Structure 1
């Protein structure tokens, strides 16, 4: 049994992740900003924790993380406003990594995106640029820490049913169901071979996809 704290606990992926973790015996703390989402989180078996990660400093976030065994960052501003995107997807994410080190919680899984590279190619005039830039900065910071970090880069997210299978480094956008992303997070948390890796994935063609545990090993 592990104690896992999930930032962005009311996100679509997090709401699919929590039941998977609870079913295998983990204790899940889901950090949410809106108290109106408490019931939704409780329905997954997770413990809701209301906190505004945008306003918390490193010490404040460390207080949330302390006494857990692993951190999952699945929070995001949701696009639209560049200033808030940087505040959440970059700045708060980076503070959470520093906080994990302060709290002595080494395991950290970042949910990023498949295109998070230095040469992501998104022009500054594009409304998506702030997200691409913020995620890249956060990913780079995780690589610079001493945490047992894993960066997961799913492709374009869909609402398709889970397949339980993925393709690593797929061509193109690598569409993948949110349910399979949740399953990849759950599997990565307990797979030491994912420590220090950036894993880009999609569902891919059925004949090329591998079971998630096999793909990550």
Structure 2
């Protein structure tokens, strides 16, 4: 293994509930109807993908661009006081970065990825940060992970990926990476998505698991 690529939401930032809350409120405010499967369906989608989903599937009466801007503006506002960083996440990234090149491959828009890196003073330690907005398809497609590996100049099969959700785990596996799962407590991944992954008790167990290669 020659590099480690982190997901952001649910792995380093406890933001999945916030995304869900904001999207639900925007859909309701604009005439749409939330569906039971909507939360899981959107995990891993790129911004254009979930914006179309809110409009085409849930019936929000805005254009995809309008609803994307509305949701992201509200998320950015909630990050003003600092993103909800998961306990120990900053220290884990720092410890891992001492031994391997580190990247982020996230479905969040670039503005929120950079807000996290700036708030945690990690910008210099994370030279590559890719949003699924910048590739053809969001998770579970492997595109965002493959792009991160390309920018790191390391073959994907020589990278470890750290994920929490069903679609994220599928994306990392499809990219051919060694996968470490830190399951999301709010929205646990499906058992089949954990097949072949090393399941961590929590994120702070990652450095030791990487060093042990298990």
More strand by share: 1
More helix by share: 2
- TM-score, normalized by length of structure 2? 0.46
- TM-score, normalized by length of structure 1? 0.46
